[in-house]
Amino acid sequence: MNGLWLKSLSLITTTEHETHQAADTLVAAAGHVAEHGGEHVAEHAPEFPNIVEILHHYFPDSVFVQLISDYMIVFFSLIVGLFLSLLAYAGYRKRSMIPGPAQNLMEWVVESLSDMVITLLGEQGRKYIPFIGSLFIYIFSMNMLGLIPGMFSSTAKLNTTLALALCVFLYVQWSGIRNLGILGYFYHLAGSPKSTVEWCLVPLNLPLHVIGELSKPVSLSLRLFGNISGEDMLLAIFAGLGVTILSFTHLPIGLPLQLPFIFLAILTSFVQALVFTLLTTIYFSLMTHHEEEHS
Amino acid sequence: MEALGLKWDLIVTQIIGFVLALWILKAFAWKPLLKMLDDRRKKIAGDIDDAEKIKAEAGKILDEYHAKLRDIEVEARSKIQDAISEGNRIAVEIRENARDEAREIVEKSREELSRDIARARVELRDDMVGMAIKAAEKIISAKLDEAEQKRLLENFLREVDKT
């Protein structure tokens, strides 16, 4: 188990091309955890206890607590959703030409995201800004939520990241079908053959492209899940180390050894949200670029 | 604590770390972020202000042009009016002059005419005297002496004068 955690630690410092390898490690870790069952995870996984676990501990019979305990990931995603909705409402409520603090912050975020998308996709990418921008803000907020005591990063669970990646996958495929038409879409999947040789290679190209498309949500979700769960574990491990150091005092206190890694975690949260968003943009770009080629 | 299954020491450590991180962020990252947002806000406010100023200035210039155009129109109208009255004045003057001149010419002609008449009368009298003398001479050259001749002539002249 320890070996696995150490491998997880290395996730934090992985570069982008090592991500797949790191994701493999985490899949193995997840498999290991699955083998030993959920109870085991709750006892031994180096995670900070969150508010749901605390509530569940003190009110194990409450129906509500049981519900949020069963749907913990959804519960924390909802908290983020609610927070973002309130923030959006605060920024939207008193709109003026000269923005107030909330409006200013939101305008800045939206402006930056829209600039990024338009730089990559051009003017025709404007219609994807709401989806891509929301993805970034939502993922970044979920990543950051895990840093607040009592809270939990929903993106540290594969369920959440896979759901997000599937949304991206379906939207990209749907926009491909809508832009190219059904036949054009399959022509694209076949590798857009033109010469006879290329047509002969279609039986090879088609499965390759299909596998390539299917691997996109897998890589997207594993990357985000691996990085964020690794980051949260790292913090918990170092906090645990700090507790161990001060255990001789017999007080419920520890040295905050995780402090430097909090800043690293902030960076990872941002970078991983950005990577997820950028890759989504690029998947859209591959579809729109294709469309341009044909026209 | 451990016996309860909840790691309160871990939670406390996390809270300490979180508060410290917040404090560090507030000390080092908060100000630049706020400044950036404030600059953005100021820039927007400044841009809007500039735009409004330029708009107001443009409006002022437009008003000025309208006023100037109106002035020019009024001036043009008054100038035309002046020209018309001047023209009328000149026409009246010309008419007056023409009338005076005509009157002068008529006067002059009349004077000349009367002078001519007088002269013609004198000439006529002289001619008549000469002719009468000649006629008389022819008729009575032989019969009358010089004294009688002269008397008759004087009579005749008096009568001519009377006429």
- ipTM score assigned to the predicted complex: 0.73
Position A286 scores a pLDDT of 86
Contact B37 A263 (CB under 8 A): no
pLDDT of A11: 40
pLDDT band at A44 (very low <50, low <70, confident <90, very high): low
Predicted local distance difference test score (pLDDT) of residue A249: 86
The helix or strand, by DSSP H or E, that contains position A136, with its residue range, turns out to be helix A129-145
pLDDT-above-90 percentage for chain B: 52
Distances (CA, A) of B93 to A290, B65, B96: 92, 41, 5
Q: Is the pLDDT of residue A16 over 60?
A: no
- Where does the pLDDT of residue A161 fall: very low under 50, low under 70, confident under 90, or very high at 90 and above? very high
Query: Which residues have CB under 8 Å from A143's CB, separation 6+?
Result: A153, A155, A228, A231, A268, A269, A270, A272, A273
Between the alpha carbon of residue B113 and those of residues A145, B69, B92, B98, the distances in Å are 132, 64, 31, 22
Once rounded to an integer, what is the mean pLDDT over residues B74-85? 95
The pLDDT assigned to B23 comes to: 93
Answer whether residue B8 shows pLDDT above 80: yes
Predicted pLDDT at A290: 56
Out of A89-103, A242-256, B22-36, pick the least confident.
Answer: A89-103
**Does the pLDDT value for residue A73 go beyond 60?**
yes
Mean pLDDT of B8-23: 90
Average pLDDT of the residues in B77-99: 94
| Exposed e or buried b per residue across A201-233, where buried means at least 16 C-beta atoms within 10 angstroms of its C-beta | ebeebeeebeeebeebbbebbbbbbbbbbbbbb
Query: Which of A171, A179, A172 shows the shortest CA–CA distance to A290?
Result: A179
Mean pLDDT across A23-33: 46
How many residues are recorded in chain A?
A: 295
Average pLDDT of the segment spanning B74-98: 94
What is the predicted pLDDT for the residue at A45? 64
Q: Averaged over B115-134, what is the pLDDT? A: 86
Residue B6 has its nearest CB partner, among A54, A99, A251, at A54
Give every CB contact of residue A161 below 8 A, 6+ residues apart in sequence.
A155, A220, A221, A222, A224, A225, A228
What residues in B contact A108, CB-CB < 8 Å? 36-37, 40
* Mean pLDDT value across residues A224-245: 92
A265 and A236 Cβ atoms separated by less than 8 Å: no
State the average pLDDT over residues B130-144: 74
CA distance B156 to B128: 10
Average pLDDT, chain A: 83
Most A-contacting residue of B2, B8, B9, B47 (CB-CB within 10 A), to test interface: B9
A242 in contact with B at a CB cutoff of 8 Å?
yes
Q: Cα separation of B38 and B27, whole Å?
A: 17
**Whole-model pTM over 0.80:** no
Spell out the SS3 assignment of chain B. Answer: CHHHCCCHHHHHHHHHHHHHHHHHHHHHCHHHHHHHHHHHHHHHHHHHHHHHHHHHHHHHHHHHHHHHHHHHHHHHHHHHHHHHHHHHHHHHHHHHHHHHHHHHHHHHHHHHHHHHHHHHHHHHHHHHHHHHHHHHHHHHCCCCCHHHHHHHHHHHHHHHHHC
Considering only A10-19, A193-202, B48-57, which range has the smallest mean pLDDT? Answer: A10-19
CA distances from B155 to A59, B35, B158 (A): 178, 142, 5
Q: Mean pLDDT over residues A274-279, rounded?
A: 95
Chain B CB contacts of A54 below 8 Å: 6, 11
- Average pLDDT of every residue of chain B: 87
pLDDT tens for each residue of A207-228: 999 999 999 999 999 999 999 9
pLDDT at A30: 45
- More reliable by pLDDT, B53 or B160: B53
The reply to whether A177 touches chain B by the CB within 8 Å rule is: no
In B56-86, which positions are buried (b, 16+ CB within 10 angstroms) versus exposed (e)? eeeeeeeeeeeeeeeeeeeeeeeeeeeeeee
**Is B111 in contact with B104 (CB distance < 8 Å)?**
no
CA atoms within 13 A on the CB side of B77: 6
Report CA torsion sign: A274, A275, A280, A283.
positive
Task: Give residue limits of the domains in chain A.
Answer: 2-20+45-294
Say if CB A230 and CB A11 are below 8 A apart: yes
Per residue in A90-149, pLDDT (tens digit) is 888 888 877 877 888 888 999 999 999 999 888 888 899 999 999 999 999 999 999 999
How many whole angstroms separate alpha carbon A172 and alpha carbon A217? 11
Q: Does A264 touch chain B (CB under 8 A)?
A: no
Does residue B11 contact residue A48 with C-beta atoms inside 8 Å?
yes
CB-based contact B5:A60 (threshold 8 Å): no
Interatomic CA distance for residues B60 and A49, integer angstroms: 68
Give the residue ranges of DSSP H helices in A156-201: 158-189, 196-200
Q: Which residues of B touch A (CB under 8 A)?
A: 1, 4-18, 20-21, 24, 36-37, 40-41, 44-45, 48
